[in-house]
């Protein structure tokens, strides 16, 4: 069974149609890139998968392990293993990153009926994980994303992903706002988390990121649906020819 099946998904925001019959399947362990021009609905797709309010699903379904998740709250989806690395990570003033991580992980474990982590075990696990990602102890004490540089914010998203160990990670324009060094560090973090047990949807505008995170498949989105799918070479072709050629196909 495929991990994720999106079937003929139609989504509106404030009466404006954003997704227009999108169909997409993600296999277990697969890394799929989703590319497309601005306004093609990429970010909407990521929010709808994570369960954000304010999106009105008028038609279609999203199946995880063959079961619909449309009725599930964001936290229930998280507990089932869906993780969204935000394009613009949100600041949470006064809440230490360490506290945030522990609250999130224990909340998920509670929902899954698993025992909570003991504090010493948790701290040990976070220290090991953050060391691997090159995240400092000082970073863990700072309030979530407050005063972080663009690179630090993105690295913080990857740290959360490493701690929460999702089965489906959606990376929404993780490359935006990163210089080349930060891009490399973040990509290394992502690659370290690749596993046959974990699927990823890598949403990006540019082919550049895919030099570092090499996808198994590439899907092209335009006007709210997938208009072309192919191997990683499709990304190079897009880089050369641009998105204009797909504008008509989606219409």
Partner 1 sequence: MPAVQETVDRVRQIDVDQYKYGFVTDVESEKAPIGLSEDTVRYISAKKNEPAWMLEWRLEAFRRWLTMREPTWARVDYPKIDYQNAYYYSAPKKKPQLSSLDEVDPQILETYKKLGIPLREQEMLAGVVRKDADGNVLPERRVAVDAVFDSVSVATTFKEELKRAGVIFMPMSEAIQQHPELVRKYLGSVVPTTDNFFATLNSAVFSDGSFVYVPPGVRCPMELSTYFRINEANTGQFERTLIVADKGAYVSYLEGCTAPMRDENQLHAAVVELVTHDDAEIKYSTVQNWYPGDADGKGGIFNFVTKRGDCRGKNSKISWTQVETGSAITWKYPSCILRGDGSRGEFYSIAISNGRQQVDSGTKMIHLGKNTTSRIISKGISAGQSNNTYRGLVTAHRKATGARNFTNCDSLLIGDQCGAHTVPYIEAKNSSAVFEHEASTSKISEDMLFYCRSRGMSAEEATALVVNGFVKDVLQQLPMEFAVEAQKLISISLEGSVG
Beta bridge mates, 155 = none
Q: How far is the CB of 4 from partner 1 (least distance, A)?
A: 16
Is residue 250 part of the contact set for partner 1 (CB under 8 A)?
no
| Window 31-50: residues binding partner 1 (CB under 8 A) | 50
Cβ atoms 12, 18 nearer than 8 A? yes
Nearer to partner 1, 99 or 245 (CB): 99
Is residue 86 part of the contact set for partner 1 (CB under 8 A)?
yes
* 118 C-beta neighbours (distance < 10 Å), count: 9
Cβ atoms 199, 65 nearer than 8 A? no
User: What is the number of residues in the chain?
Assistant: 251
Torsion angle (degrees, nearest 10) of CA 127, 97, 204, 68: 100
Spatial neighbors of 63 by CB under 8 A, at least 6 apart, are: 4, 5, 6, 7, 69
DSSP 8-state secondary structure symbol assigned to residue 74: H
Answer for which of 78, 140, 169, 227 binds partner 1 (CB under 8 A) is: 78
Answer for which of 119, 233, 240, 244 binds partner 1 (CB under 8 A) is: 119
Is residue 103 part of the contact set for partner 1 (CB under 8 A)?
yes
| Window 135-174: residues binding partner 1 (CB under 8 A) | 143, 160, 164
Is residue 57 part of the contact set for partner 1 (CB under 8 A)?
no
Nearer to partner 1, 108 or 187 (CB): 108
Nearer to partner 1, 52 or 184 (CB): 52
DSSP element (H, E) containing 137: helix 137-141
Residues binding partner 1 (CB under 8 A):
14, 50-56, 73-75, 77-79, 83-84, 86, 89-95, 99-100, 103-105, 107-108, 111, 118-120, 143, 160, 164
């Amino acid at each position: 069974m495929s991990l994720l099946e999106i079937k003929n998904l139609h989504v509106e925001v404030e009466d404006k149609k954003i997704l227009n019959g999108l169909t997409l399947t993600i296999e277990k362990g697969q890394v799929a890139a989703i590319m497309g021009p601005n306004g093609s609905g990429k970010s909407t797709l990521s929010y709808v998968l994570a369960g954000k309010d304010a999106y009105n699903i008028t038609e279609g379904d999203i199946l995880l392990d063959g079961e619909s998740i449309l009725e599930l709250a964001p936290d229930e989806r998280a507990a089932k293993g869906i993780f969204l690395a935000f394009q613009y990570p949100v600041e949470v003033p006064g809440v230490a990153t360490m506290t945030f991580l522990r609250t999130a992980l224990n909340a998920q474990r509670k929902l899954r009926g698993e025992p909570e982590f003991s504090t010493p075990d948790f701290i040990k696990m976070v220290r090991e994980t953050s060391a691997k990602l090159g995240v400092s102890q000082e970073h863990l004490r700072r309030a979530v994303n407050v005063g972080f540089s663009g690179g630090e914010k993105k690295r913080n998203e990857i740290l959360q992903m490493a701690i929460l160990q999702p089965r489906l990670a959606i990376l929404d324009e993780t490359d935006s706002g990163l210089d080349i060094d930060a891009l490399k560090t973040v990509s290394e973090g992502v690659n370290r988390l690749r596993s046959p047990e974990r699927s990823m949807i890598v949403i990006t505008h540019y082919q550049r990121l895919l030099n570092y995170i090499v996808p198994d498949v590439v899907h092209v989105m335009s006007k709210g649906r997938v208009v072309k799918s192919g191997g990683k070479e499709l990304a190079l072709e897009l880089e050369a020819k641009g998105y204009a050629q797909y504008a008509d196909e989606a219409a």
